[in-house]
C-alpha cells in the first residue's frame, strides 16, 4: 500500500524508527497536551501509513498534521540567516531574505490539506508570496518549462511545470495555521501547492530552479505520480487501481 514513510529497509510494520519515536515521547512528558498529541501523531504516522486494517486511523488523533521528514532531524534555520535562491534558466538570479519575502504582497488561502496516504486537515489557513511573483522577478528564459525545488534538509526535492508554478494557488508560504511556519512544518519558508497532494508542498524550501524539463522529485522517484492533483488516482507501480 502507498506509504509516505516507506523505508525499503523496514520489513516489519512497526519498525525501529517508530520504536525510537515512541521512546522520544517519554521526553515530552512535561510539555503540553497539544504537543504531546502532535508527538503521538508523528510517532504513529509510520504505523498508520502501513496499517492494512485501517484500525490505527480510528485512534483519536484528530485532524492534525503528521510530521514528515525523509531525513530524520533537520537543523533549524535562523530567520535572519535564511536565504531563498532563485536560479537556473532565468535572466536575473535571486537571493531573497525572509524580510524580502515578507515585504512582497502576501496571498492568503484557506484549504484542506490532503496527504496522499489518506489523512486530511480541513480549512488550514496559509499565507505567503505567490510563486508566480518570484518567477516573474527572475524572468524565465524561453527554454524554461519547469521549476525544481530543493530543501535545506539536503535530500527532498519536488518540481512543477512552469504553468502549474504560475497558478495563483501556489505559494511560497511564510505563515500557516495562524502563525509563522514552524520548523517542524518546514519553516521558516515552505512551498504550498494548494491543488495537489501534500508531498508537493516541500518543506524547508531553500532553492527554486528554472529548468528545461520536469525532474521527478524525491517521492516521485519512489513511485508517486508527478501529477499530484488531489483526487487523481496517483498511479503508482504497485497500485492496482492505476
Ligand atoms: N522536505 C520535506 N518536505 C516534505 C516532506 C518531507 O518528508 N520532507 N513530506 C511531504 C509530505 S508527503 C507531506 S504530506 C507534507 C507534510 O507536511 P507536515 O510535515 O507539515 O505535516 O510535507 C511534504 N513535504
Ligand atoms: Mo504526504
Tell whether ligand 1 has an atom less than 6 A from the beta carbon of residue 153: yes
User: Domain spanning 84-222 has what CATH number?
Assistant: 3.90.420.10
SS3 percent helix, strand, coil of the chain, rounded to 5, is 25, 25, 50
Whether residue 67 has pLDDT greater than 50:
yes
pLDDT in tens, 40-62: 556 665 555 555 555 555 565 66
Give the residue extent of every domain in the chain.
3-58, 84-222
Q: How many CA atoms lie within 13 A of 103 on its CB side?
A: 5
Residue 232 has a pLDDT of 80
Whether residue 172 has pLDDT greater than 50:
yes
Ligand 1 closest atom vs CA 116: 14
Measured over all CA atoms, what is the biggest interatomic distance in the chain, rounded to whole angstroms? 56
- If one residue of 37, 75, 158, 186 were mutated to test the ligand 1 pocket, choosing by the most ligand atoms within 8 A of its CB, it would be 186
Burial class (CB in 10 A: 0-12, 13-18, 19+), 136: exposed
Residue 241 has a pLDDT of 40
> Cα dist. 190→37, 51, 84, 118, 234 in Å?
23, 29, 10, 21, 23
Residue 44 has a pLDDT of 60
Tell whether ligand 1 has an atom less than 6 A from the beta carbon of residue 196: no
Minimum mean pLDDT among 62-66, 180-184, 192-196, 238-242: which range? Answer: 238-242
Q: What is the mean pLDDT of residues 193-204?
A: 98
Residue 120 has a pLDDT of 93
* Ligand 1, atom 24: closest residue by C-alpha: 202
Amino acid at each position: 500500500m502507498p506509504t509516505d514513510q516507506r523505508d525499503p529497509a523496514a520489513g516489519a510494520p512497526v519498525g525501529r524508527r517508530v520504536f525510537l519515536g515512541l521512546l522520544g515521547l517519554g521526553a515530552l512528558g512535561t510539555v503540553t497536551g497539544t504537543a504531546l498529541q502532535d508527538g503521538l501523531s508523528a510517532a504513529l504516522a509510520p504505523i498508520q501509513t502501513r496499517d492494512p486494517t485501517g484500525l490505527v486511523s480510528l485512534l483519536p488523533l484528530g485532524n492534525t498534521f503528521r510530521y514528515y521528514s525523509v531525513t530524520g532531524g533537520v537543523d533549524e534555520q535562523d530567520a535572519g540567516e535564511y536565504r531563498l535562491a532563485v536560479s537556473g534558466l532565468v535572466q536575473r538570479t535571486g537571493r531573497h531574505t525572509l524580510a524580502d519575502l515578507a515585504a512582497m504582497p502576501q496571498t492568503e488561502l484557506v484549504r484542506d490539506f490532503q496527504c496522499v496516504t489518506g489523512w486530511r486537515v480541513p480549512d488550514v489557513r496559509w499565507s505567503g508570496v505567490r510563486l508566480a511573483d518570484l518567477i516573474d522577478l527572475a524572468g524565465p528564459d524561453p527554454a524554461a518549462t519547469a521549476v525544481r525545488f530543493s530543501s535545506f534538509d539536503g535530500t527532498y526535492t519536488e518540481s512543477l511545470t512552469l504553468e502549474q508554478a504560475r497558478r495563483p494557488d501556489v505559494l511560497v508560504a511564510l505563515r500557516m495555521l495562524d502563525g509563522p511556519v514552524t520548523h517542524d512544518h518546514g519553516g521558516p519558508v515552505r512551498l504550498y501547492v494548494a491543488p495537489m497532494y501534500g508531498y508537493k508542498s516541500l518543506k524547508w524550501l531553500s532553492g527554486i530552479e528554472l529548468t528545461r524539463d520536469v525532474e521527478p522529485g524525491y517521492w516521485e522517484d519512489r513511485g508517486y505520480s508527478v501529477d499530484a492533483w488531489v483526487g487523481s488516482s496517483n498511479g503508482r507501480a504497485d497500485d492496482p487501481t492505476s
